[in-house]
Structure 1
Amino acid sequence: MDYEIIIISNRPHLSQEAQLCLKSLNSRVFDGTNYPSFSKIVNDCITSSEYETIIICNDKARPTPKAVEKILVMLKEGWGMVALYRFGFFGFKKDLIRKIGFFDERYIGGGYEDVDFVRRLKEANIGYYESEEINYIYLPTSWNYEKTNFARIQYFKKWKEEGHFITRQLAEEDYDYDIGPFQNSNFIEYEKSVLLPFNGNIKEFIMRRSPGLCLVATKN
C-alpha cells in the first residue's frame, strides 16, 4: 500500500464521519487549526507523508472506497491530479509536486489556490480530471477569504487573463521542503483533461510568462 488519505479538519465530528465512509482504508486526520492558508496545510500534509500517493480529503467530503480506487487507478494511468469533488477530495503523486512545485502559500486566508494550481497544470501540460461525483456536505467554510479578499488580490498579481492569453506575472516561491528526487513519472497531456464547466474554457487559453520571468523565485 503506497498511498494514504489525509483528512484535513479541525472539527472532530466531521472528520470522524469522513473516516467512517472510508472504512478500513489507510487514512489519518490532519489538524488544520490556525493555519494561514489551505496551501500551507496541503504542503505540510505532503511533507509529513511517507507515501508516494496522497489523497486529500476535506472533512465535508463523504467518499467511498470505490472513489478512492478510481483515483488510484487514474493516477497509475498517468493523470497528474484526480479530483472527485474539486479540491474537496483529490489525489496526486508526489512526483507531480516534484515536477511543478508545492502549493502556493501566498493565498493567505484560503481561496484561489485551486484556480492557481489548475493554471500550473496547464502550464506544465499535465492532465487534470475533476468532477463532483462524490457526496459532499454543504456547510459554511472555516476560511475568511470573503472578508479579507487577500487571496483574490494575490491571484491577479500572479496571473493576468486577457483575451485568449493567461500570463504568469509572478514566479513560484522556492520552499525549503524535501520530498526526495523525481521518480520519472509520465503524465497525460493537459489537452485530455476533463473539467467542470467553470474551468472548461481554460483549454482555449494560451499560457505565457512576462518577459524575463523565471518559473521559480527565492522565497522572501
Structure 2
Amino acid sequence: MDYEIIIISNRPHLSQEAQACLEGLNSRIFDGTNYPSFSKIVNDAIASSLYEQIIICNDKARPTHAAVEKILTMLKAGWGMVGLYRFGFFGFKKDLIRKIGFFDEGFIGGGYEDNDFIWRLKEANISFYESEEIDYIYLPTSWNYEKSNFSRNHFFEKWKEEGHVITRQLPEKKYQYGIGLFQNSRFTEFNQSILLPYNFRLKDMIMKTDL
C-alpha cells in the first residue's frame, strides 16, 4: 500500500463523517483548526505523509471506495491530478509537488488557490481530471474569503489574463518542507485533461512568463 487519504478539516466534527465513508481504507484526519488558509493545511498534510500517493478529502466530501480506486488507477496511468469533486476530493503523487511546487500559501483566508494550481498544471503541461461525481454536502464555507479580497488580489498580482494569453507575473515561492527528491514520474499532457465547463477554455490558452 503506497497511498493514504488525508481528511483535512478546520471543523473536525465533520471529518468523522467523511472518514466513515472510507472505513477499511488507509485514512487519517488532519486537524486544520486555526490554520490561515486551505493551502497551508494541504501543504502540511503532504509534508506529514509517509506515502507517495496522497488523496486529500474535504470534510464535506462523501466518497466511495470505488472513487478511491478510480483515483489510484488514474494516477498509475500518468494523470497529474485527479479531482472527483474538484478540490474537495483529489489525488496526486508527491512527484507532482516536487515538480511544480506546493500550494501557494499566499492565498490567506482561502479562495483562488484551486484556480492557481490548475493554471500551474497548464503551465507545466500536466494533465488534470476534474469532475463533480462523488457526493458532497453543501454547507457554508468555513473560510473568510467572501469577506476579504486578499486572495483575489494575490491571484491577479500573480497572473494576468488577456485574450488567449495567461502571463505569470510572480515566481512560485519555494517552501522548505523536505519531501525528498523527484522520482522521475512521467505525466500525461494537459491537452488530455477532462475539465468542468468553466475551465474548458484553458486547453486553448497560451502560457507566458513576465519575470
- TM-score relative to the length of structure 2: 0.99
* CA deviation vs aligned residue, 1:133-177 (integer Å, no higher than 9, x gap): 000000000000010111000000000000110000000011111
Tell me if structure 1 keeps the 8 A contact 2:129–2:193.
Answer: yes
- Give the match for residue 135 of structure 2: 135
Task: Give the alignment of 1:56-135 within 5 angstroms.
Answer: 56-135=56-135
* CA deviation vs aligned residue, 1:38-97 (integer Å, no higher than 9, x gap): 111100000000000000000000000000000000000000000000000000000000
- Give the match for residue 31 of structure 2: 31
- Give the match for residue 171 of structure 2: 171
- Give the match for residue 146 of structure 2: 146
Structure 2 alignment gaps of length 5 or more:
none
- TM-score relative to the length of structure 1: 0.95
Displacement of 1:204 in angstroms is 1.1
- Give the match for residue 10 of structure 1: 10
Q: Distance in 1 between matches of 2:20 and 2:177?
A: 32
Give the ranges of 4+ consecutive aligned residues of structure 1 lying more than 3 Å apart after TM superposition.
none
Structure 1 alignment gaps of length 5 or more:
214-220
Q: Distance in 2 between matches of 1:124 and 1:171?
A: 14
- Give the match for residue 44 of structure 2: 44
* CA deviation vs aligned residue, 1:168-205 (integer Å, no higher than 9, x gap): 00000111111001111000000000000111111111
Count of paired positions: 211
Displacement of 1:13 in angstroms is 3.1
Code of the residue aligned with 2:152 in structure 1: it is: R
Aligned to 1:145, the other structure's residue is in SS state coil
- Give the match for residue 218 of structure 1: none
* CA deviation vs aligned residue, 1:93-116 (integer Å, no higher than 9, x gap): 000000000000000000000000
Task: Give the alignment of 1:176-191 within 5 angstroms.
Answer: 176-191=176-191
Q: Distance in 1 between matches of 2:132 and 2:2?
A: 25
Q: Percent identical across equivalent pairs?
A: 77
Q: Distance in 1 between matches of 2:17 and 2:185?
A: 34
Kindly report the root-mean-square deviation, in angstroms, between the aligned alpha carbons of the 2 structures.
Answer: 0.7
Code of the residue aligned with 1:70 in structure 2: it is: K
Q: Distance in 2 between matches of 1:117 and 1:10?
A: 21
Q: Which moved more, 1:11-20 or 1:93-102?
A: 11-20
Task: Give the alignment of 1:207-218 within 5 angstroms.
Answer: 207-210=207-210, 213=211
Aligned to 1:148, the other structure's residue is in SS state coil
Q: Distance in 2 between matches of 1:26 and 1:41?
A: 19
